[in-house]
Amino acid sequence: MSSKRWLTAAVVLLLVSLGLIFPVGAQDFELTLPEPTGSPVGFRLYAVVDEAREEVFTDEEGDVRTFPLAIYYPAAPAADAVPALYSTDAENAAYNTALAMPPAIFNAITGHLYIDAPLAQREGGYPVLMFSPGFGSPIRFYSALLTELASRGFVVAVVDHPYSQTVSLFPDDSVITANAAGSNLSTSEALSLILNVWIEDTIYALDHLSELNEADPVLAGAFDLDHVGAFGHSFGGATAANVSLVDDRVLASINMDGEVFGDAAQGVAKPFMVMTSGTVDFSDEDLAAVGMTRQEFESSIAKLNNSINGALAASEAPYRLSIIGTLHGTYATDIALLRKLLPEYITPEVIGTIDGARANQVIADYTVAFFDTYLLGEESPLLDGMSADYPEVEFVTEPSSEQ
């Protein structure tokens, strides 16, 4: 698979996250992320070291795969606890260098996470959702969505993938930025290498949760590892589908607006949902800006649809839905929310027309409905088909009455 074809699924994210130059002096604004609708949410960040795997994206001898693992979890913070800053100074400096997004932007954001807050105890722990971000997208850009999911009774384990993500933050406040080896999608072999690293990261992270469940000073007992799902955005969605294919612990998966490639493209037997963005008619000028012809674009869209349909055809519980007004970058929910701060830079042409807070709600509600149903056996009417409360959501593949 060529990088051009894969990037069709990420055209909008490229135009938004990686191509905008933001005003360095813009400091007279503020943004509060949507208040989580459930419990308070804690956040812990770990550095996970897989001694058995050589780091393939560096040339350093003896370098083993090490990656950040962020945990969002239902918490019981003290009455006087104060939510953490949205991001760290080191992280902000890296965003400024890599994405031309100055610290003033992130300093203006107020979130709802309590770092290392006590766990809200629950007998047997909470169902676990493994998450991987879009290719190149820092995990921080999904904070609103991940916080909402954790507030509603899940532990969300977010797997960062250093050298492929623009910025990866470690607990000691060090960062790793993307390099050529970790970002190379120019051949099918290179893409497969990166995909396999991401799959192995996710499986090893899931293994690591067993250790945390036994002995972590904050999260011991937090993880119900009999009820595990996987989801992700774009490349991360393909990763989730493939993890569900090879790891029996993962019972169901969601791909948020991405092509399905790897072995999962041949079929995902377990319950599988694909969320896609609304139909977009890119102009020839838009396509030229990312180096594509109209013919290449249409061929890539056909390939994208074929991969999704092939994966869903084998599923015991297939769902494909489209959210009107979204674009690819909308699923990095914090970028969509930033449009209120920077409407002249984050425009509907590159982030979609749906309100950012509404997008976060819709994506979260359907994610919860799916995992409630297929991890916990708590069926949701949202999976039955079109809902008057969610007119933005169109089912491309109508749910079967047998599901």
What is the DSSP pairing of strand 272-277 with strand 318-323?
parallel
Contact 187, 194 (CB under 8 A): no
Whole-number pLDDT of residue 28: 60
In the chain, where are the structural domains located?
3-397
Residue with tokens 């051009």: 4
pTM of the model: 0.92
pLDDT digit string, tens, across residues 223-238: 999 999 999 999 999 9
Q: Is the predicted pLDDT of residue 24 greater than 50, yes or no?
A: no
Q: Which percentage of the chain shows pLDDT scores above 70? A: 91
Question: Which fold, 3-397?
Answer: Rossmann fold (3.40.50)
Kind plus residue range of the DSSP H or E element containing 50: strand 41-54
Cα 173 from Cα 403, distance rounded (Å): 46
State the average pLDDT for the chain. Answer: 90
Cα 294 from Cα 82, distance rounded (Å): 51
Cα 233 from Cα 131, distance rounded (Å): 8
Cα 73 from Cα 47, distance rounded (Å): 17
What letter represents residue 217's amino acid? P
Torsion angle, alpha carbons of 70, 75, 80, 83, to 10: 30
Give the largest Cα separation in the chain, rounded: 59
pLDDT digit string, tens, across residues 285-331: 877 877 888 888 888 788 888 889 999 999 999 999 999 999 988 99
Contact 235, 135 (CB under 8 A): yes
Residue 379 corresponds to which tokens in the numbers above? 């069926």
Q: How many CB atoms lie within 10 A of CB 365?
A: 19
Cα 231 from Cα 127, distance rounded (Å): 13
Number of H helices, E strands in the chain: 12, 14
Task: Transcribe 162-176 into DSSP letters.
Answer: TTTSSEEE-TTS-EE
Contact 128, 146 (CB under 8 A): no
What is the DSSP pairing of strand 393-397 with strand 318-323?
antiparallel
pLDDT digit string, tens, across residues 48-107: 999 999 999 999 999 999 999 999 999 999 999 999 999 999 999 999 998 888 899 999
Contact 33, 110 (CB under 8 A): yes
pLDDT digit string, tens, across residues 122-132: 999 999 999 99
